[in-house]
Amino acid sequence: MDLKGKTVVVTGSSRGIGFAIAKAFAAKGANIVINDILVPDEAINEIKAMGVGCIGVVADVSDFVQSEEIIKKAKEEFGSVDVLVNNAGITRDCLLLRMKEKDFDDVIRINLKGTFNMTKHASKVMLKQRRGAIINLSSVVGLMGNVGQLNYSASKAGVLGITKSAARELGGRGITCNAIAPGFIKTPMTDVLSDDVKSAMLAQIPLGRQGLPEDVAKVALFFAENDYITGQVVNCDGGMVMQ
């Protein structure tokens, strides 16, 4: 897909990986819809300064009606929805025996149901267009599990199931659906980890460094620009998980 003039919706994109993905697509000439529970003007202005259109939509992707509004506003503003990047997600890390029901429910609601909501609404538009790319952010812990992240691992494994099933359902109309499984990426979410935890994570990475949001953004561009790849998962993890 030639991204110039296309419309790209990125959820959870006011900062971190989501914002890096938004900027990467803007650099290719795409118009951007930034979504988050708070979208600062600075983020919108930075994208607009790249010479493309950009709007911010404040909405909770886990809410079926609010998520539909994101897609409606994107189409109203730019006339199409060509790429959806399901990036919005949270963590509520805790050992299984200490994990509260709400910790589990919140993570599943935002990470998994949010991906379902957005994929459902965007696919309606893409089916009529007979084109589109859906890119879901999973995680290496969705593949291998992790101590203290049962809820997060379950949600991200579920995202892989959505990805593969949607790829089979939507492929006949020219719509691709793929997933990225980031590893230890430098974001506000990982910056709060202790030095001991960071050192332990780095010891598992053959490339010997923490990933950057821009590393993940490159994979997102790859999926959007390749029309003959669907139902696939690419680990962006420095070799942490090898399959």
Mean pLDDT of the chain: 96
The token pair at 119 is 């994929």
Q: For residue 148, is pLDDT > 80?
A: yes
d(CA 173, CA 208): 41
How many CA within 13 A on the CB side of residue 179?
26
Q: For residue 213, is pLDDT > 90?
A: yes
Indicate the residue type of 233: V
pLDDT in tens, 13-65: 999 999 999 999 999 999 999 999 999 999 999 999 999 999 999 999 999 99
Q: For residue 194, is pLDDT > 80?
A: no
Contacts of residue 55, defined as CB under 8 A and 6 or more positions apart, other chains included, come to: 32, 33, 34, 44, 73, 74, 77
Work out the average pLDDT over 189-201.
81
pLDDT in tens, 103-126: 999 999 999 999 999 999 999 999
SS3 content of the chain, % helix, strand, coil (to 5): 50, 15, 35
Q: For residue 232, is pLDDT > 80?
A: yes
Q: Which residues are catalytic?
A: 152
d(CA 70, CA 36): 10
Instruction: Return the pLDDT at 188.
Output: 78
pLDDT in tens, 66-91: 999 999 999 999 999 999 999 999 99
